[in-house]
Amino acid sequence: MKPKLLSFSLIIHLLISCVCGLISFSSFSQSSESKFPEKPITIVVAYAPGGQGDVFARLISERLTSKWGVSVIVDNKPGASGMIGTRYVVAAKPDGYVLLLAQTGEISINPWVMKNLGYNPSKDLKPIVLVGDAPLVMSVATGSKFKNISEVMSFAKMNPNSLSYASSGTATPGHLCAAALDLYLNGHFTHVPYKGAGPATTDLLGDQVDFFFSSAAGIMPHINSGKVRGLAVSTKKRISALAQTPTVAESGIPNFSFSLWGGLFAPAGTPSSIVEKINTAVNEILQETEIKNRLERDGVLSQKNSVIEFSEFVNQESKKYEELVKTTGIKSEAN
């Protein structure tokens, strides 16, 4: 039996129906994007409350709630060096209602030091905006014989294997920052990893380790109280909170730059119009005097940045850590 052929008029009718359906869907999608946000937004932080990323997220969430009139909630999902929270966002619907406040570790370090990461930052996440760039501060106890970083560098060159440094964990930004300094000096420092910045700082104060590259926000209270002396900051520029403290680069290591940065990311596939809307809103918040003053007080560098500029920054950071990890052979203990 020969199959029945569709009539020409029926074919035309079906084509018109399909086109109308596509136009209708496209119009609905564009309308939904233009009305964003229409419901509560969740900003996931892949670490426990109280850290630098959590501070960034809560600072932004409060202002976005006021600006948009919808709840912007911070949801802490700690574990596995940031992998649990990051995977959660990667798997979320790409509509702008689930975002990630990601930091240096999840995006630029983990891919090079971990196996079975479960996500690819360059493919699964879309950069939105850099919120803050916090330097690491090379610090020593006030009783230390070292009064500046030049003395540390000279001593390390003359006495290999004689100095130790703390970190808040293996393959953390502070560890890699110190490893980069060690690589340059060929000083063969002894790495002493801790489970967090708290115990590392305690042993620094007790003179159990020689130095520690800590977050500025975490170490500033101890510097201000006179218990710790800041020798250098790890970013390219000095920070106002430690205006008299030189950068590592100023001290003789050109282009030395490491930081604890944090920025917003969305699942890949999130419409560009929504990404740009979030970028604009966060940049406006970062220009507020109260916010700028608060970030400066914590030693955080922050400036207006576009989606493209932040994307380029993320790419540069990833390449930097890829090269450093390949050279040093550092791997995460979470593997």
The string of pLDDT tens digits covering residues 281-323 is 999 999 999 999 989 888 888 889 999 999 999 999 999 999 9
| Measured distance CA(162)–CA(187) in Å, rounded | 8
Residues of the chain with pLDDT under 50: 1-3, 19, 24-29
Question: How many whole angstroms separate alpha carbon 44 and alpha carbon 128?
Answer: 14
Residue 193, in any domain of the structure: yes
Q: What's the confidence (pLDDT) of residue 115?
A: 87
Residue 297: the pLDDT is 85
Contact indicator for 273, 34 with CB cutoff of 8 Å = yes
- Residues 144, 223, single domain; the answer is yes
Domain that holds residue 292: 41-134+260-328
Residue 123, Cα to own-chain centre: how many angstroms?
17
Residue 112's alpha-carbon distances to 128, 172, 306, 314, 324, in angstroms, are 22, 12, 26, 14, 9
Tell which residue, 78, 188, 130, has the closest CA to residue 307.
130
Specify whether 233 is located in the same domain as 144: yes
183/121 Cα distance (integer angstroms): 27
For residue 54, tell me if it sits in a domain: yes
The reply to whether the predicted model has a pTM over 0.75 is yes
Q: Are residues 270 and 122 in the same domain?
A: yes
Q: Is 33 a domain residue?
A: no
Helical pair 149-158 and 173-185, crossing angle rounded to 10 deg: 60
Domain co-membership, 103 together with 60: yes
Segment holding 285, helix H or strand E? helix 272-286
3-state secondary structure of 306: coil
Closest CA to 136 of 56, 38, 61, 52: 52
Residue appearing with tokens 């944090």? 262
**Beta strand residue intervals within the chain, DSSP E:** 41-45, 72-76, 98-103, 125-141, 164-167, 190-193, 211-215, 228-233, 259-267
Nearest to 59 by CA among 103, 106, 101: 101
Nearest residue to 216 via CA among 255, 260, 252? 260
pLDDT the model gives residue 28: 45
DSSP string covering 127-149: EEEEEEEEEEEEEEETT-S--SH
φ, ψ dihedrals at 274, nearest 5°: -70, -45
Give the 3-state secondary structure of residue 320.
Answer: helix
Please name which of 239, 240, 234 lies closest in space to residue 258, comparing C-alpha atoms.
Answer: 234
Q: Give residue 17's pLDDT.
A: 55
**Domain final residue pick, 182, 216, 242:** 242
Co-location of 318 and 269 in the same domain? yes
Last residue of a domain, which of 242, 275, 304?
A: 242
> Does 81 share its domain with 142?
no
Containing H/E element for 332? none
Residue 83: which CATH number? 3.40.190.150
**Same domain, residue pair 121 and 58:** yes
Q: What are the angstrom distances between the C-alpha of 139 and each of 52, 212, 214, 223?
A: 18, 5, 7, 9
Largest CA distance in the chain: 98
pLDDT at 25: 46
Residues 6 or more apart whose CB falls under 8 angstroms from that of 164 comprise 189, 190, 191, 192, 209, 210
Same domain, 45 and 127: yes
Query: Which residue reads 């990601």 in tokens?
Result: 102
Distance, in Å, from the CA atom of 106 to the CA atom of 52, rounded to the nearest integer, reads 13
pLDDT at 29: 47
Is residue 79 domain-shared with residue 154, that is, in the same domain? no
Task: Tell which residue, 99, 105, 100, 101, has the closest CA to residue 80.
Answer: 105
Q: How far apart are CA 126 and CA 107, in angstroms?
A: 11
Residue 217 structure tokens: 């926000």
Decide if 14 is inside a domain: no
Here the CATH number for the domain that contains residue 148 is: 3.40.190.10
Q: 3-class DSSP state for residue 30? A: helix
pLDDT value, residue 37: 94
Q: Which residues pair with 160 in a beta bridge?
A: none
Q: What is the DSSP letter of 118?
A: S
